[in-house]
Chain A
Amino acid sequence: SYVLTQPPSVSVAPGQTARITCGGNNIGSKTVHWYQQKPGQAPVLVVYDDSDRPSGIPERFSGSNSANTATLTISRVEAGDEADYYCQVWASSSDHPVVFGGGTKLTVL
């Protein structure tokens, strides 16, 4: 089955830019979606279709996807962005079509 690899943790100072990666074999050929999960809360979709934002998600959140790596970029990081972030793809040729990455803990220093 398809595997997505994320770094366990990323740390960034307030106001700086955080980049969270999601690695997968030829992931650039798939569409990648990103979720934010704060402690004790349900996941929230923050980027879909590689780089689109749902309504209500700040423009500071953006995404890109190429070759073997997709990236969630959070600009001008705020304390409220501290959360776990998960990437997700749809492995359409599989009987296990929904694949999540292992998650990345974003710490705002």
Chain B
Amino acid sequence: EVQLVESGGGLVKPGGSLRLSCAASGFTFSSYSMIWVRQAPGKGLEWVSSISSSVGYIYYADSVKGRFTISRDNAKSSLYLQMNSLRPEDTAVYYCARARTTVTGHWYFDLWGRGTLVTVSS
């Protein structure tokens, strides 16, 4: 079955760290770029970070730049998000998603995981 499964969420104190994982199965993970998207309670979707298939391109939202690090292990078909210096405003469900490209090279996202909840609170 083609799927993405996130893990690693939980309750953490402000200033703490968490590492999220996204396990891919049913497709050739190394061929796809990937992203992390988060959704705060009752809010919309917010792009967090992107990584290309070859790790040649990595981007971060301003809200997480310098604190979060995206990475991937193509041999393990896994995507990661290392989150440091966590803040209460980082509280959200974090989704990983698979990127597809249009003929003009623009990304869209055709496969999403169910998400993992990160709660930052003292």
Contact = CB atoms under 8 A, between A and B. Distances in A.
Interface of A: 30-31, 33, 35, 37, 41-45, 48-49, 54, 84, 86, 88-90, 92, 95-103
Interface in B68-122: 95, 97, 100, 102, 104-110, 112-115
Interface of B: 35, 37, 44-47, 50, 59, 61-62, 95, 97, 100, 102, 104-110, 112-115
A47 to B, nearest CB: 9
Given A31-B106, A97-B59, 8 more contacts: A43-B45, A43-B97, A48-B102, A49-B102, A54-B110, A86-B45, A96-B61, A100-B45
Contacts, number: 69
A75 to B, nearest CB: 22
B59 A95 contact: yes
A97 B50 contact: yes
A45 B110 contact: yes
Contact of A42 (B59, B95, B107): B95
Nearest to A102: B44
B106 A89 contact: yes
B57 to A, nearest CB: 9
